[in-house]
């Protein structure tokens, strides 16, 4: 069975983020469920968050479903002053995913929401979540085919 | 030492025996008991957080020098920084929340 278009886009996004990044570590994890130990930081994790669809009609009938899903990239660091550490990773992710068509699978990809969270336990920790909206289309009756 | 806390004179003995460690803060060395409690933070959708540790040091309030948060201290020889300080119970003991300076 062929993978869904969305799965192929997420796979491609993770591969793009991990393609020779300018920082030493980390490599991005795909949908990591387990917590990171402090020694594993900095970290990057990629998640699918939500998707909505809309029928794309041409005349009376339409065969395509126009979709948009939120791809979230999470960066976690342990640092007193996190910005100098987070920023190079954020810039790299934005350069790799912004306006990306993932080899013709998507129509567009762009940042829609950034959110920071902070925690202070044994060290100061920071989380930056960057949401990308990925627009693409599939056949209504087959999420693995774009046409 | 005369303080307003009932049984305050016994606290150094309680903190200093068996589990006690040396806490150096504000130029003074006082006894304290350390608790390291695991605490997850920065969870996203209930998963993928950071497995941190809450470092709590119990010291006698009347022995604790008046210092602001972010003061450097050593706990059992380890360099740390004061995150917060909260009196507990009747106030005779203070919880020092500490962090490792990354």
| Residue B62: inside a domain | yes
DSSP state of A39: G
| Residue B53: inside a domain | yes
Mean of all residue pLDDT scores within chain A: 94
| Residue B1: inside a domain | no
**Does A9 score more than 90 pLDDT?**
yes
**Does B3 score more than 60 pLDDT?**
no
| Residue B2: inside a domain | no
Distance CA A95, CA A132 (A): 12
Which residue from A78, A79, A121 is facing B39, i.e. has the nearest CB?
Answer: A121
* pLDDT at residue number B7: 80
List the domains of chain A with CATH numbers.
Answer: 5-33+40-139 (3.30.2000.10)
Please report which helix (H) or strand (E) contains residue A95, including its range.
helix A83-97
The residue among A53, A92, A58 whose CA lies nearest residue A73 is A92
Mark out chain A residues that contact chain B at CB-CB < 8 A: 32-38, 41, 45, 47, 49, 72, 74, 76, 78-80, 117, 119-127, 129
Q: Write out the residue range of the structural domain in which residue B46 sits.
A: 8-99
CATH number reported for the structural domain that contains residue B29 in this entry? 2.40.10
B33 CA: distance to closest CA in chain A (Å): 16
Chain B positions touching A78 (Cβ under 8 A) are: 50, 102
Contact call for A121 and B49, based on CB within 8 A:
no
Tokens of A103: 């080899």
Reported ipTM exceeds the 0.90 cut? no
Range B81-98 average pLDDT: 95
| Residue B81: inside a domain | yes
| Residue B43: inside a domain | yes
Distance CA B54, CA B39 (A): 6
* pLDDT at residue number B10: 81
Q: Which of residues 59-78 of B touch A (CB under 8 A)?
A: none
Distance CA B26, CA B97 (A): 15
Q: Please, which residues bridge with residue B80 across strands?
A: B73
A17, A97 contact by CB (below 8 A): yes
The residue among A127, A47, A142, A35 whose CA lies nearest residue A85 is A127
* pLDDT at residue number B64: 96
Range A103-127 average pLDDT: 96
* pLDDT at residue number B12: 81
| Residue B90: inside a domain | yes
Per the structure, the count of domains in chain B is 1
Tokens 């790799």 sit at which residue? A96
Contact call for A38 and B42, based on CB within 8 A:
no
* pLDDT at residue number B102: 67
The residue among B88, B85, B87 whose CA lies nearest residue B96 is B85
* Verdict on whether the full-model pTM lies above 0.90: no
Percent of chain B past pLDDT 70, that is, above it, reads 95
Q: Chain B: residue nearest A44 by CA? A: B48
Q: Chain B: residue nearest A126 by CA? A: B42
The predicted-structure confidence for A40-60, as pLDDT tens digits, reads as follows 999 999 999 999 999 887 767
Distance CA B54, CA A28 (A): 27
Range B30-43 average pLDDT: 94
Which residue from A33, A72, A125 is facing B42, i.e. has the nearest CB?
Answer: A125
């Amino acid at each position: 069975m062929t993978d869904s278009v969305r799965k192929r886009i997420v796979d491609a996004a993770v591969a793009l983020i991990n393609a020779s990044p300018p920082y030493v570590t980390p490599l991005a994890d795909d949908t990591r469920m387990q917590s990171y130990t402090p020694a594993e930081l900095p970290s990057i994790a990629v998640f699918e968050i939500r998707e909505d669809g809309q029928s794309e009609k041409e005349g009376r009938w339409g065969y395509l479903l126009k979709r948009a899903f939120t791809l979230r990239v999470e960066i976690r660091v342990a640092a007193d002053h996190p910005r100098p550490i987070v920023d190079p990773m954020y810039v790299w992710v934005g350069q790799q995913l912004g306006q990306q068509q993932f080899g013709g699978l998507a129509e567009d990809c762009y940042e829609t929401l950034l959110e920071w969270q902070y925690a202070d336990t044994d060290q100061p920790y920071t989380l930056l979540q960057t949401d990308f909206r990925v627009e693409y289309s599939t056949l209504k009756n087959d999420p693995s085919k774009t046409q | 030492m005369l303080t307003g806390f009932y049984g305050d004179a016994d606290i150094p003995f309680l903190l200093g025996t068996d589990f006690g460690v040396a806490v150096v803060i504000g130029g003074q060395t006082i006894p304290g008991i350390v608790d390291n409690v695991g605490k997850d933070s920065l969870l996203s959708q209930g998963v993928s957080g950071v497995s941190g540790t809450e470092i709590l040091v119990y010291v006698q309030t009347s022995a604790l020098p008046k210092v602001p948060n972010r003061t450097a201290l050593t706990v059992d020889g380890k360099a740390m920084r004061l995150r917060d300080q909260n009196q507990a119970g009747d106030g005779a003991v203070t919880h020092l929340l500490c962090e490792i300076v990354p």
